[in-house]
Structure 1
């Protein structure tokens, strides 16, 4: 009888069944069927195939490590024929083929001992002298400490991989002198058994160990917290790092914690026992303090964890604030000149930088960016500008080709109002993604939408989950929206001279988000103006190869496509219209524009033949019954039809009114307070349930049974306030 070198259990040999995977075996047999499935073996690379790597376990005993078993792409492996590797025998087939599995431990010293698997013996033999690993990547001292197997309190043994963990109350081996409230690290005492005794423990039975330090010596070592970006220069040193756990991976050996501070990310390996979760109370998102030794594994930095504690209260707040400030500073763009002269954009340039910082920071934090924009030309162009700037950053951050579809989304909203229906859909989706895919809550950016108080209910629902909200709009914004969102960019809240579009602001934000796409954005502001585009934007578009006919055709084409499937982003189609790469794509806008003009002219002609002219208190009013004399489910939509009617008749009418079954739309040349109109009209039609539905689109909503009374009341109110 002997003792298990890991736990000291009495066994026939030197390893118990439980700890077979904690040691590495050297095979002395000659046939595949003499191997023991489940064990880890030392082998040498024989060669590569298209489907994996052949590994020699012994002379004439070769197995296949299939590419599906690797934790990286086969092409990225740096193994050369003859290199020592460590693999697990998963299966030995009847025909002698050997299926091998990947081992995260690729150095003999990472195992807790080495045994000889000699089929001529009844059990594995101790390897008395283990050669040191010549891997140039393994630098610095290696600890092979062993738990006291005589500890009759049932304590856990520890090895070099698990250099101390925070233990649950009552666990043996925990430092009972540590003060949890003061943030002291829980550590494990370990002693090295007499090397002359039978068995031993872990690597201590076969590998020379460093002298054990006393508690006084350990207490004298005061680790200084360092930044992760400095670890490259600290290989072999004991360090302390603080940050957020962003990922936890359980391997067949250690648990790997991915830790990020304000400077970089590093993997930290903690070993409990093979395949057993270390520090089970630590979760993703926790802010922690971790002590350990900096190592290199296959060319990559790794920290061998000695102690890991979750920070709380003031310590957590300090680390959180430090990381947040550093990340914001990293995300903040350098000063960027506006795309062209625009006083309205100049007035909100500080807000432009804040919005750009929010987008860049979301990408750095691996948070999705969701752009919610009005289903209009202005909304689409502005939303696409931010999309164009953000997608390259997402691809760079995540590498995967499909990352831009997981970490960026653009969704239109109707009437520029983010209502409870929109918010409920978004919240349901983001919570589902968090539950099913562990996705972080997104940043929501609203373009040409959300600036009025009609969106407050939707914003309040997002705020329940602390989803960050940015609003970018050129329409008149309500001050209370600024209190409901994190960033509000609107010239209406400044003393700016002149007017602009949401697209002009969003394109400037996009240039701050990603300066590499600045030249691609030059024509977008000119596209977003239906008329009277500022000369600065017309000239900028011309410099980028788009004359006024080009921008008109693009505008009309987007207006048509925005109507159909209005709830879809149409990413590729809109990109072809706005950023054509071929002559064929360049001609797409002109082709779609012809359809726009044909459909719009036909609808306007029908509407003009059926309008009613009224004179109310000296105001000339043009009234169109849109239910009776417009195609409800055909292009153009009501808003676009009324806009065009007003443009064509503003020289001879003051107000255009579109009357539907339970909605009324107003168009005029001056500023019209739609809420004031609704309030005044509601007094004259008290049973109509009249209220402003969308102030930016001049839309009022009422009960259909009071339709005639509402029209009269609204016309009187408009005449009094217009």
Structure 2
């Protein structure tokens, strides 16, 4: 029976790791069959090569597994592994045919695990036992050589004895026939000395390690800027800065440090999995001496000494950071795309929003973008994403930082209510408590500007997080007082033909002017109808004609519906920025086929009636739409209304079990309609659920009464 190398408990079968600690060590596999691998264990491997769907990893000669791209925490083409590189992976399982499924390991160094074991075919042992075996083999070989030499000497002595007489034989063998004891004593003394030397070396190593963890910075060393570290790999440097995050791995503690020029990871090691410098927290200013290394393509610093800076030294660093932050965060100015005057009127607010976004990047504060799962919403979210990701890449040395510091979360409904707000609050508090992350900046585009979002925004405000709202629709007065930064037209100067996508595209160009050329076609894509000529012309200048713009709009609308809660970052980027035409055209064709099928079914079941000179088209959306397939009800009703609205007095009503959508040719207030409906159907508990969608909710048992009341209320409003 063996004992666990981590906790020391007995392990059945002679193993060296207990079940609770299986995933805390990494194994060197020396078997010859996939069936000998143990699922859930982490193994050292060597990159064999790439395929379209993943990376092949050799775990041993003749034993190769696949790390599928779906297991990666980044895009496959962003991996900097080369064939022959040593990597660490987890065995997810071994199939009956011998195929090995591998999983991603965030730990990519021995020191990040709590131990290392060698797994033979069905046994395991520490790697030092190999060294001991090798040493024993060397000793055995030496003894064999010595014995051979002694035999040669004995043979010579025997020959001499034959010539000289029997006295020489007495020198070799005692009177009792045994060998002399003096040689054995010498051997014991040698072994003792060697053991003592080994113990002394072990103690020296422990002292050196402890000393390195506690050593003081060298006063004569000069500070270097983090932004220059890529030019100093292999050198010892000093850096000063603010701690923006702390991560504890299975090996070192990783401090993310920011100065006025950039951000870098600093690894400090005491013992595997033990927190180094527990007195250092996020927000502290520190001085670090260490060696610059290249870790899987990213620059990082191996800490040799770390001290907290306070007093004048700490204040100097904070002033330097604050000055650099202010200078870099504020954009120089706003140049609206296509010279849109409606956007220009909102310049001050847009510059404030751009500064908040840029400041969050510079402060290593995560950015969470919320937008409706519509074509307009996705265009707006993608525009911000296009602008911010290059800034994050430039600021952070880690290649996957853009996935940690920028998140886009689409909304099924264009209202930031309690459900998404609770989701966001839960995530940010977990990230704060588990990973020492700063609370994020929330950017709400095309949502958050009406009172229907008040409860959600209030929940965020309880935790003091910053919120920026950018919406082309007129914001409610209550919202203007509830958010930190709000960009929305005043009711006196509103341009009814301004889309959120167009507004946010100009914001994105202020955030990062280098991507301005990439954004020129986005405003045209964000409009379903009545696209302003200035944006049509701008798209055409960028190489997107009317047909191409329509394909992009329809493709985004279709993809926005499926997996609506996912950002689909790479797919959306391919459609809007990287596609040569085939992808968008293919998806757009699906959009048109599905929409036409639904429109035909709906049109055949629309009930029309005229009330007080207003023509109504009423559709039972529960009975005559595919409720759980594309297109969503709001998009279907939009299309029906565009096709059939005739004259100035026309309304399209889609009514389901407990919700109703309203479209009108006149400027009818959905809130006013809901208020009047509540008066006419008092038992229905009628509420406005979505101003932008024209959505009203009610109790399902009062559906008939609500339908009649809505028709009456709309007729009164015309």
After TM superposition, the score normalised by the length of structure 1 is 0.62
Q: In the alignment, what sits opposite 1:621?
A: 616
Q: In the alignment, which residue of structure 1 is the partner of 2:534?
A: 536
Equivalent residues in 2 for 1:637-716 (5 A)? 637-652=632-647, 653-716=649-712
**Does the Cα contact within 8 Å between 1:475 and 1:492 map onto a contact in 2?**
no
Q: Which of the two has greater helix per residue?
A: 2
Which residue in the other structure is 1:102 paired with? Answer: none
Alignment equivalent of 2:373, drawn from 375, 378, 383: 375
Q: Is the 1:286–1:310 contact (alpha carbons within 8 Å) kept by the matching residues of 2?
A: no
Tell me what 1:611 maps to: 606
Deviation at 1:695, TM superposition (A): 0.8
Cα pair distance change 1:97/1:427, threshold 3 Å? farther
Find the aligned partners of 1:250 and 1:605 in 2 and give their Cα distance. 58
Residue 214 of structure 1 corresponds to which residue in structure 2? none
2: distance between equivalents of 1:599 and 1:500? Answer: 28
Shift of the 402–51 alpha-carbon distance from structure 1 to 2, 3 Å rule, reads: closer
User: Out of 89, 93, 96, which is 2:131 matched to?
Assistant: 93
Query: Per-residue displacement from partner, 1:628-655 (whole Å, max 9, x unpaired)?
Result: 2222223221111111121122224422
Aligned 8 A contact 1:362 1:368 in 2: yes
Q: Secondary structure at the match of 2:683?
A: coil
Partners of 1:243 and 1:262 within 8 A in 2: no
User: How does 1:389-408 map onto structure 2 within 5 Å?
Assistant: 389-408=387-406
Aligned pairs (5 A) from 1:38-77 = 68=109
* Correspondence for 1:512 among 501, 510, 513: 510
Give, in angstroms, the shift of residue 699 of structure 1. 0.6
Instruction: Report the secondary structure of 1:627's partner residue.
Output: coil
Change (3 A) 1:395 1:496: same
| Alignment check: 8 A CA contact 1:268 1:304 kept | no
Alignment partners' CA distance in 1, 2:630 and 2:196? 85
> How far is 1:472 from its partner?
1.8
Kindly indicate whether the alpha-carbon contact (under 8 Å) linking 2:449 and 2:476 is maintained by their aligned counterparts in 1.
yes
1:509 deviates by: 1.8
Q: Does 1:527 align with 2:525?
A: yes
Alpha-carbon distance in 1 for matches of 2:709, 2:621: 18
- 1:268 Cα shift? 9.4
1:538/1:309 Cα in 2 relative to 1: closer, same or farther (>3 Å)? closer
Aligned to 1:360: 358
Looking at structure 1, the residues matched to 270 and 626 of structure 2 have their Cα atoms a distance apart, in angstroms, of: 70
Task: Indicate the residue corresponding to 1:34 in structure 2.
Answer: none
Aligned to 1:180: none
Shift in Å, 1:538: 0.6
Distance of 2:454 and 2:566 partners within structure 1? 24
Q: Distance in 2 between matches of 1:427 and 1:417?
A: 16
Deviation at 1:687, TM superposition (A): 0.9
1:672-697 Cα distance to aligned partner (Å, 9 max, x none): 22222212221121111011011111
**1:715 Cα deviation from its structure 2 partner:** 2.1
Pairwise CA distance, 1:513: 2.3
Distance 1:265 1:376, change over 3 A: closer
> CA separation of 1:654/1:463 partners in 2, compared to 1, >3 Å: closer, same or farther?
same
For structure 1, the 5+ residue unaligned runs are 1-49, 53-66, 72-88, 99-117, 127-157, 166-209, 211-220, 233-238
Q: How does 1:452-531 map to 2 (within 5 A)?
A: 452-492=450-490, 495-497=493-495, 499-531=497-529
What is the distance in 1 between the residues matched to 2:694 and 2:410? 19
Instruction: Please tell me whether the aligned partners of residues 634 and 693 of structure 2 are also in contact (alpha carbons under 8 angstroms).
Output: yes
Contact 2:441 2:465 (C-alpha < 8 Å) held by counterparts: yes
Q: Post-superposition shift, 1:250?
A: 11
Deviation at 1:381, TM superposition (A): 1.1
CA distance in 2, matches of 1:494, 1:325: 38
1:99-142 per-residue CA deviation (whole Å, 9 max, x = no partner) reads: xxxxxxxxxxxxxxxxxxx968977999xxxxxxxxxxxxxxxx
Find the aligned partners of 2:135 and 2:336 in 1 and give their Cα distance.
66
Tell me, yes or no, if the aligned pair for 1:474 and 1:492 is still in contact at 8 Å. Answer: no
Out of 419, 422, 428, the residue aligned to residue 421 of structure 1 is: 419
Query: How do residues 184-199 of structure 1 correspond to structure 2 at under 5 angstroms?
Result: none
Following superposition, the deviation at residue 627 of structure 1 comes to 1.8
Q: Secondary structure at the match of 1:657?
A: strand
SS in 1 for 2:384: helix
Distance in 2, matches of 1:454 and 1:631, equals: 27
Mapped to 2, the partners of 1:579 and 1:640 lie a distance apart of 24
1:161·1:269 contact (CA, 8 Å) conserved in 2?
no
Match of 2:582 among 565, 584, 587: 587
Give the aligned partner of residue 598 of structure 1: 593
Q: What is the DSSP-based 3-state SS (H/G/I as helix, E as strand, rest coil) of the residue aligned with 1:624?
A: strand
Q: Does 1:631 align with 2:592?
A: no
SS at match of 1:632: coil
3-state SS of 2:481 partner = helix
| Gap change, CA 1:295 and 1:68, over 3 Å in 2 | closer
Stretch moving more, 699-708 or 608-617:
608-617
- CA separation of 1:337/1:677 partners in 2, compared to 1, >3 Å: closer, same or farther? same
**Residues in 1 aligned to 2:468 and 2:417: alpha-carbon distance in whole angstroms:** 16
Secondary structure of the corresponding residue to residue 635 of structure 1: coil
**SS state of the match for residue 622, structure 2?**
helix
Aligned equivalents of 1:598, 1:306: Cα separation in 2: 63
Aligned to 1:561: 559
Q: SS at 1:367's partner residue?
A: coil
Please say if residues 363 and 397 of structure 1, whose CA atoms lie closer than 8 Å, have aligned partners that are also in contact. Answer: yes
Superposed CA offset, 1:125-178 (max 9, x none):
99xxxxxxxxxxxxxxxxxxxxxxxxxxxxxxx98985779xxxxxxxxxxxxx
Corresponding residue number in structure 1 for 2:308: 308
Secondary structure at the aligned position of 1:94 is classed as helix
Equivalent-residue separation in structure 2 for 1:706 and 1:121 (angstroms): 89
Deviations 1:64-112 (A, max 9, x none): xxx94589xxxxxxxxxxxxxxxxx9888124479xxxxxxxxxxxxxx
Partners in 2 of 1:553 and 1:629 — Cα distance?
27
Distance 1:607 1:323, change over 3 A: same
Deviation at 1:420, TM superposition (A): 1.1
Deviations 1:260-309 (A, max 9, x none): 455566899999999998864x232143476x9x8988999999879636
Partner of 2:280: 283
Shift of 1:528: 1.0
Q: Tell whether the 8 Å contact from 1:245 to 1:283 is kept in structure 2 after alignment.
A: no
Q: Give the TM-score normalised by the residue count of structure 2.
A: 0.63
Please say if residues 619 and 653 of structure 2, whose CA atoms lie closer than 8 Å, have aligned partners that are also in contact: yes
Structure 1 residues 618 and 367: CA distance shift in structure 2, 3 A = same
- The 8 Å contact of residues 264 and 396 in structure 2, kept in 1 or not, is answered as no
